[in-house]
Amino acid sequence: MAFVGPVETCVTASATRPDVPWTVVTTPVPALSDVVPQVSPDRLLADLVPPRHFAAARFGTYRANPDFPTQQAALARLQEVAQVLVKPRSGGLFKRAKKQTPPAVYLDGGFGVGKTHLLASLAHEVGLERTAFGTFVEYTNLVGALGFRQTVDALATKTLVCIDEFELDDPGDTVLMSRLLRELADRGVALAATSNTLPESLGEGRFAAEDFLREIQALSSRFDVLRIDGPDYRHRPTVTKAPDVPADAVRAAAESVEGARLDDFDTLVAHLAHVHPSRYGALLDGVELLALTGVHPVTDQNVGLRLVVLVDRLYDRDVPVLLGGGDRGLFTPEMLAGGYRKKYFRALSRLGALAEDGRTRVAALAA
């Protein structure tokens, strides 16, 4: 695919190899908005693995905070679940194995307490070839791309299905996922899910868990709810405002990183409307840095939700970002107080981490 963009004389080096000497070359600066990914059903299914950010996550690398015993308790319970799922069936050739209800666990807690780390660790312990791992949105998008029955048939071949960031703010999607989980459980697939409690709701007990159990009704008795308390261990900044970075500085930084993409914010936002969200991951193939100019607040809910999905895929792939624009909020106060606030706060939290990575990258180039 040919990229359309200005040809610049720029300094390039491998984004993953900071020790590589810089060389001056002439190369076009590609834009993410020039890419229209074509994704096969096999690719969509193959992408259901723990994100790159958690590729090395294991039970042994999870550090439970001793000040919050629920973290160690959740770790121990998931290790038990893993043992059940990897344990070979007993009994001889002519002995009928007793059918057991597959385990189902739900991790309830705030941002940054290690829920995704534990979920990814469970997936690695069971085996990635036997596990499907995706966010709530990825599964709903999968159903939209493949159809419900084909999705059930494909996922039913797995031993374990992990759903990260289970969301309850869209009634239609919640009903869809409840039905999907019920059919998978009835076919013997083990389930594991996570969700977030908003920071201001952490003192309210199992706020998210109660909502989750109410919405999945027919499956509620099967789920073992594991509360995980604790502060956000990353202490990430929440990006509610885009830094006042001049467009020229953003362009110069993008031109200095091989694999960077340079986009005007409005152009990219318009492009996302024409790409199915299930393809946003493929949209980022080969991207090492996303630099945006003209960042400003969005007021349309549909635009905001597409940005949430894009930020999730950027975070999954550890792609740093540079945000160039005025010192104004990315989402409006009304959006941050509305029904999709969990999505927006998660996106802002993750965007904070990615923006910090971008700033660090640029600082290293300037040093």
Looking at mean pLDDT, say which of 30-34, 53-57, 349-353 comes out highest.
Answer: 30-34
Instruction: Answer for the pair 130, 159: CB distance below 8 angstroms, yes or no.
Output: yes
pLDDT in tens, 67-101: 999 999 999 999 999 999 997 655 444 444 456 78
- Cα 315 from Cα 334, distance rounded (Å): 25
Taking all residues of the chain, what is their mean pLDDT, rounded to a whole number?
A: 81
pTM: 0.76
Structural contact between residues 13 and 23, judged by C-beta atoms closer than 8 angstroms:
yes
Residue 14, pLDDT score: 40
Other C-beta atoms lying within 10 Å of the C-beta of residue 182? 16
**pLDDT per residue as tens digits for the range 136-178:** 889 998 998 899 999 999 999 999 999 998 877 777 788 888 8
Rounded to an integer, what distance in angstroms lies between the CA atom of residue 356 and that of residue 350? 10
Q: What is the predicted pLDDT for the residue at 343?
A: 86
pLDDT of residue 280: 94
- Whether 245 contacts 224, CB under 8 Å: no
Query: Which residues have CB under 8 Å from 246's CB, separation 6+?
Result: 324
Asked if residue 7 lies in contact with residue 241, where contact means CB atoms within 8 angstroms, the answer is no
First to last CA, the chain: 35
Query: DSSP character for 6?
Result: -
Between 346 and 122, the more confident residue is 122
Beta strands in 205-268 (DSSP E): 223-228, 260-264
pLDDT at residue 22, as a whole number:
36
Whether 321 shows a pLDDT value over 90: the answer reads yes
Tokens representing residue 99 in the block: 């059918």
Q: What's the pLDDT score for residue 314?
A: 95
Ramachandran angles phi, psi of 194, nearest 5°: -130, 165
Between 48 and 236, the more confident residue is: 48
Q: Position of tokens 């193959």?
A: 46
Instruction: Answer positive or negative: Cα dihedral of 161, 123, 126, 132.
Output: positive
pLDDT of residue 8: 34
Concatenating the DSSP letter of every residue in 75-130 gives: HHHHHHHHHHHHSPPPS-TTSPPPP-PPPEEEEEE-TTSSHHHHHHHHHHHH-GGG
